[in-house]
Structure formats: C-alpha cells, structure tokens
Amino acid sequence: MRIYSGFRDRLWRHRQLIGIVFFALIGIGIGVFAALVYDLPDITPLEDYSDPKWQLPSKVYDGNNVMFAEFFQEKREIVQLSDLPRHVSEAFLAAEDRRFYLHRGIDFLGITRAMAKNLRAGRVVEGGSTITQQLAKVLFLSSERKFARKIREALLAVRIERRFSKNEILERYLNTIYLGEGAYGVEAAAQIYFQKHAKDLTLGESAMLASLPRLPFHYNPYRFPEAAKTRQTYVLNSMSREGYIGDTELAPAQEEFWRGFDVHRLTIQERRGQMRAVRAPFFAEVVRQYLGERYGYDEVYKGGLEVKTTLDITMQEAAEQILRRHLAHWDEIKRKEREAAGRPPKPPLQGALVAIHVKTGEVRALVGGNEWSVNNQFNRATQAIRQPGSAFKPFVYITALENGLTQSDKLMDAPAIYQHTRPGEYWTPENYDQEYHGEVTLRTALMHSLNVATVKLMEKITAKKVIDTVRRFGVTSKLEPFWALALGSYDMNLLELTSAYSAMANGGIRHDPLLVLQVFDREGALLEEGVPVESEATSPAIAYLITNMLKTVVQEGTGSYIGKNLGRPAAGKTGTTNDFKDAWFIGFTPELACGIWVGYDDHTLSIGSRMSGGVVVAPIWTEFMQAACANTPATDFAVPPGVRFASVCSQTGELATEFCPKPRSAAFLVGTEPTVYCHEHRGPGN
C-alpha cells in the first residue's frame, strides 16, 4: 500500500510534466498524420482512362488500318470489366483479395491472417494488401518498403472506396497490375503471353495470369514452368474454395493449359525480341523518330497516340522476304567460293529497299537491312550514304535535255584525260567493259551506261547545271562540281534518290517522301494530317523524254533482265561503283518507284567481280515489283503535250529508213525531232 501511495504521490508531483508529454505525443501523432494526409495524390485520374496517368502505348497502322507496331514503356490495353469472362476477375479475386466485396479498402481480417501465416512460415508467404491498396500503390505511390508509404496507401484505399464502386475499382486494377514481360493489365498480358484478347482467355490461362502479380518473373511460365504450375494450382484451388469453380474443373483447366504450352513458348520468344515493332521494324523506327522529334518521346511511349501511315504492310513484307532471300542466295554462293579458295567468309551481304507511290510521295515499303535484330538496327535506306554510281547519270541527261539536246544528238565515246582536283594530277574515266564505242547517241550512252560519253556530256552542259537539276529533284546530299560527279561519285541515301526518280514518273512533279498520314491523340482528336508537299522538278515533257530513254535501259541496256521478266512497262537505271562495292537499281512504273541497294556495311569490301546492279539487283527489283503491282493493271507512261515520236535508227539517231537494222521509236520535243534520214542505211549502192 505504501509503495502504491508513493508512486501516486510522485505522479501527482510531476503531473504537469506528464501532461505536457502526453499532449506533445498527441500533437506529434496528429502532425505526422496530417503530414501523411496533406499531400495525398489526387485520385481523379481513376475517373476515366483519358488521364495521362494511364500510360497507353502509341499504335501505328498501315494505310489499310492494319496495326504493325507499338511504342511503349508500359504495355497497357484498356478493357472493360463487362467484356471479360467471369473467371478472369474471379481468378484475381481468389489469388489477391478474396474478401474484396466485404471490406472498405483495408481488410483487417486479411492482415491478421497474413501476419499469422507469415509468422508460422518464418517468412513472407502472403500479403495483406487489398486490391484497392495495390491499385493505389501502382498508380499513385512508389514501391518503397516504408511504414509511411503503407499508411498513405491505406488512406488512399479508403478514399478510393468512398468514391468508386467495387466493380469500377476491380476494372481499373485489372487494367493496371503489372504481369511481367512488359505487360500492364490483363489485356496486354493476354496478347503477349497467349496472343489473344482477354475476352478469349480460358480458365487455365486466367489462373496463370492471376498467379503473376506477386512475383511476375519467378512465376513466368516461360522462364520457370514448374514454379508457375505450382502457383497456378494454388489459384485454381483458391477459386474452388471460394465457390467460383467446381472441384471437377481444376484438373481439366490445367491440363488444357499445359497441353498447348510449347506453342505459346515459341510465339512469346519471338514477340519479346520485337516488342516495340511487331512488323515492318525499319519503317516503324523511322516513324518513331519522327513522332519523337515532333511530339516528344514521353508522348510517344505513354500518350496513346494512334498513327496512320503510308505503309502497305503486304507490300512491305513481300519486300522483306524477297530481299532477304536474294541476299541469302548470294551469301551462299560467295561462301562456297571463298571456302573453295581457302579464304575466310565475308560478313552477311546487306541491302535496302524503298518503294514510293509516284503520285503522292507516300512511302509504301521501306527495308533498311537484311533482317532487324538487336545487332542490326542501322537503317541503310535512310542512314547509310553510299555512292550511287551510274544510277546518278539520268540527272546529267535531264540537264542536257533541258538545255536543248535530244536523245539523237551525238557524243564521242573515246579516251579522255581531265585535270584532277589536285594540281598536277589527272583523272581518266573508263567504261565498265574498258572499251570505247566511238560516236554514239545520248540514247545509246545512257542505255549502255557509257562513262566516258557521260563525262563529256557533263563537260558540255557544265557540272553546276547538273547540280542545280539534282537539287530540284530533292537530293540534298553534298555535291561538288567535279568531273566524277557525272559518274555518281558522291554519297547520298537510297530514300532521297528513289524520291528523285519518282518525280520522273510523275511528269516532273516531285513530292517530299511522306510516311505519316494522320496522328490522333488518345481521345481521337486529330493532331496532324500529312499532306503531300509538291514542287516542279522539271517540265512534263522533259520528264517523259528521260522516261522514254530509261525505258531503253530495261529493254535493251544494262537492266535488260527487267525488260525480259517484269511483264509491264518500266524505266530505270542500274548503278555499280568502283570495284563492285555497291550495286543499285532505281526505277519505276507509272504508279510506283522503287530503289534497291546491295553491298557490305564495310565499304572497302567488294561484292565480287562482275557483280553489277544489272546482275545482283535487277532480279530483286523485278520480283518485288511483280508482287507490288500484282493487282494493278499494266499501263504505259502517259504522253504529255509537246512530245512527238519519230522512228530513228538506233545506231545513228537519224530518221530510220527501211534498211536500218534496228529502228526504234524515240520521243522528242515538238520541233526537235530529226529531219535527216539515216546516212548509213540507205539501201544497196548508197
């Protein structure tokens, strides 16, 4: 009694101090609580999916609305709860929050049960967070393991429960939860893991996805199938205990899932390597860079843009397959040759292809290499700059036609020496076959790609005028007025060169290459509409004259493989650089221009002796154009006003007589056609 009395007396004497401490502790508690509550995040983003808080992938479509690529950091697809089979939501409820419809955001009974299980196991085997708490953490808080974060998570969960219905919360959770492999939400996960929509998930697949939230990597069926199967069994048993499924449904659900597992395994491994560009990766990468520069990469990866492009996915995939097959064919030939000679193999041969609709400038196909991979993402259609060789020559001849010459005018194909750019040094151009042909017409010089005659032609019209012409056709690469310009000895890329050729097919009207037609934001508002930007590169008549000359290249000249095999009117030019390092063919039909380059990334390597554009590239070009134009009727190039045809001798360029061995129909500006009959073929005695 005395002890108790003494203790009471001491309390009484220190009552003032105790009171101060007591109220101080209450104040600190209130302060801490107020601090935690004060800056709680606004939960308004949960009201609808238009808020930027919901990171959505940007989707890219071809001209026929076929989606071929996505850009994202969080792969998320929004799905309505009403569109899902019941077993999807029931699987997640059984695995993550069986009392979801009974609590108000915090499940104290569930927390107690989880603590008891964890104490018995000596480790964390079950969490106490409700689905509402998980939603609050994923959308609004960090994942740091701190007591303060858990308090804020619980407070947010209560707020969410007061503002939204249970079904609204469950739907947002199913669209939010991370399920591994870059997938956020059940729709994205269904597509990545099983290549189907969430509305089509089976019971076994739903249980597998519901196994993932706690440890997505560890329970990934493609990485750890045994652990995944054990966790899936747990989810199915939980569904049975909760009365969602009958006991007899468990075994068949698992059996059906694992029976088809190997098929899923192959598919997911392919998809994981190309997550951002499912198809047409080189084209998609050009679009990604364009969108990133225009809208910012944050918007590209999170903003849910809808992008319609000029791509024709059927044409694109034909281009990829045809190019890859031909490159593999030449690689195999070269491998055997070098193996027989006891020499080490060369790296894989590379190639690039661009196809452009000539009336609009819309890029229908773009391939930047023989195959897209982690180690092969360099785009040889847009990033590589190589010498086009003789594929540049048409611009020399266009300049000549614009300056009053005709395809029947004469050039002297004979040895010539030119002052080099360095004093005291000289340059001597040579023809491909190292032979000279004497006096030839412009038509013959272009048809057979005679180097010396072309240099002499540029000497007559000046290099400066040739550069002016090329600039009008949209080539922006660095060019200098030296003799080698006539032979394409300056670097440029495939896209700009193909675009320049498309203007020849389009009556001299050039369009900037166009890849993006429309861009919409996540709510469907139009942000951008691509409009063809056109300019006059040359007159319709001159465009037709060069086309008429380039038709002879594929009919009788260096591209004759095309004329023999394509089966429709076409025009174009081969290109081969020194030592056969680069092989080109750029050409067009009335509807489509296509350019192809083949070579090695190491520009010091030769493709091989006699491996010219006509040998290597012409067959690729022919096969692609046959596929690309399969549904387009074969038509010839329209003749514009101001053009007249004359039958000329293919050797002299003069009006053909009945004795000329190879008369040809040639196009001229009205008033410039030949007036003199062939002096070499006038019959017996003449």
As annotated, the active-site residues are 96, 390
**3-state secondary structure string across 298-344:** HHHHHECCEEEECCCHHHHHHHHHHHHHHHHHHHHHHHHHHHHCCCC
In 216-286 the beta strands, taken as DSSP E runs, fall at none
- 260: CB partners within 8 A, 6+ apart: none
Question: Rounded to whole angstroms, what are the CA distances from 441 to 13, 179, 445, 653?
Answer: 123, 70, 6, 6
Give start and end residues of each alpha helix (H) in 341-414. 393-402
The DSSP letter of residue 614 is I
Inter-residue contact 666 to 443 (CB < 8 Å): yes
d(CA 462, CA 545): 20
Is the CB of residue 586 less than 8 Å from the CB of residue 498? yes
DSSP of 616-628, one letter per residue?
IIHHHHHHHHHHH
Q: How far apart are CA 66 and CA 62, in angstroms?
A: 5
Identify the DSSP state of 270. Answer: H
Q: Give me Rg for the CA atoms of the chain.
A: 36
What gap in Å lies between CA 628 and CA 320, rounded to an integer? 12
* Whether the Cβ atoms of residue 591 and residue 632 lie closer than 8 Å to each other: yes
Number of other CB atoms surrounding residue 45 within 10 Å: 16
DSSP per-residue string spanning 143-154: ----HHHHHHHH
- Give the whole-angstrom CA distance, residue 665 versus residue 122: 94
Say how far apart CA 93 and CA 399 lie, in whole Å: 75
Distance CA 292, CA 308 (A): 15
User: What are the structure tokens assigned to 172, written together?
Assistant: 């947002």
Q: How many CB atoms lie within 10 A of CB 197?
A: 15
Contact 630, 661 (CB under 8 A): no
- Residue 597 CA to residue 588 CA, distance in Å, equals 15
Location of structure tokens 């320049």: 500
Identify which of 395, 410, 344, 343 has the alpha carbon closest to the alpha carbon of residue 649. Answer: 410
Nearest CA to 259 among 205, 322, 298? 205
DSSP 8-state assignment for residue 630: T
Cα 672–chain centre separation: 48
d(CA 543, CA 509): 9
Output phi, psi for 600, to 5 deg.
Answer: -105, 150
- Chain centre distance of CA 100: 43
The per-residue DSSP string of 483-510 comes to GGGGGT-S-B-HHHHHHHHHHHHTTTEE
Would you say 508 and 468 are in contact if contact means Cβ atoms under 8 Å apart? Answer: no
Beta partners for 292? none
